Each structure stands twice: as C-alpha cells, then as structure tokens.
C-alpha cells in the first residue's frame, strides 16, 4: 500500500506492507535509526516519535496510521545549519545519557511536553516522562536536562520556595 506523510518537514511517499510498524518503516525504509526498538510492546519509550506533535510508540503503531500526518523523529530536531534543539543541547550539557539508547525517545517525549504547554513544572515533567525507561542514568540528569531546556525555551514554571 502507498502512504504519504510529512517526515521531519519533508513530503514522503512510500510503498509499505499493511503489517509494517512505523518503527520498521522509519528505520528500514527511511534509514532513520535514531529511534530505537527495545520492548516491542509500548512500555519503554525508546521508539518514541511525534505524530502530529504527540508522542507515539512507533514499535506498536502501524505505518499506515501515519498517512497524511506529520511525523517527527530525533533526526528532524536540529536546524538545517546543524544547530541543536535546546533539548538536545541540554542533554549534552547535563550529561543526561550514558549508553544513549533511550535518549532519542526521551528527547522526543520531552519535546511534546514543552511544545504543548506554556509552562512546565517538575511535577508535570516527571508525570509526562513516566513512559520512558532509562537503565543507566538514575533519571536525575534527564530531569535536569529537560528543566534546562524548558528554561532556555521560556517554558519553565517558577521555582517553588
């Protein structure tokens, strides 16, 4: 079957099999290997991409569901000139990764949170990121990185005393 969608801002047309997942198509057909596949059952968040701005587990989303929609992957965040998105830069600045397997999914989930909200509290951040699992960092550097990006983007809630 033929599908058309915007992939990181570019019109994309592909022939796919009806049973192919979005993760399979993005990794195998589009060669976007930033998203990782780990659990295959929508619990770890490593395969998170944004579909129409919302986080989606691409390992369980069928590719045909992306037809006529906007899909954004980690590869689409940096500017064409190569300037990193504030979240990408914050993850580097806060050393918010070790093996980095979960990092693309973490960043995409956090991007949806920051894009959807005028301000983001630490409580909102922790609740939103609950579906993303990291086996290395202990989460504190990740929380610091997202808070740093929120401040950079003018989305941080005032600190409580």
Element (H, E) at 50: strand 48-51
pTM, entire model: 0.92
Model confidence pLDDT, tens digit, residues 99-112: 888 999 999 999 99
Cβ atoms of 45 and 37 closer than 8 Å: no
Residue 70's beta-bridge partner residues? 6
Task: Sketch the domain layout of the chain as residue ranges.
Answer: 2-75, 86-152
CATH architecture of 86-152: Orthogonal Bundle (1.10)
- What does the pLDDT read at residue 159? 66
CA–CA dist 116, 4 (Å, integer): 25
Which one is the CATH code of 2-75: 3.40.190.10, 3.40.50.2000, 3.10.20.30, 2.30.110.10? 3.10.20.30
């Amino acid at each position: 079957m033929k599908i058309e969608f915007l992939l990181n801002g570019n019109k994309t047309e592909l022939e796919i099999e009806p049973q192919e997942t979005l993760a399979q198509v993005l990794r195998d057909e589009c060669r976007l290997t930033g998203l990782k596949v780990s659990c295959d059952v929508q619990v770890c968040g490593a395969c998170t991409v944004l579909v129409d701005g919302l986080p989606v587990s691409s390992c369980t989303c069928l590719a045909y569901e992306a037809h006529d929609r906007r899909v954004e992957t980690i590869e689409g965040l940096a500017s064409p000139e190569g300037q990193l998105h504030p979240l990408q830069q914050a993850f580097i600045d806060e050393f918010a990764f070790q093996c980095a397997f979960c990092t693309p999914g973490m960043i995409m989930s956090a991007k949806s949170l920051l894009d959807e909200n005028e301000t983001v509290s630490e409580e909102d951040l922790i609740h939103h990121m609950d579906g993303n699992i990291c086996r290395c960092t202990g989460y504190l550097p990740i929380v610091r990185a997202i808070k740093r990006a929120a401040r950079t983007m003018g989305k941080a809630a005032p600190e409580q005393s």
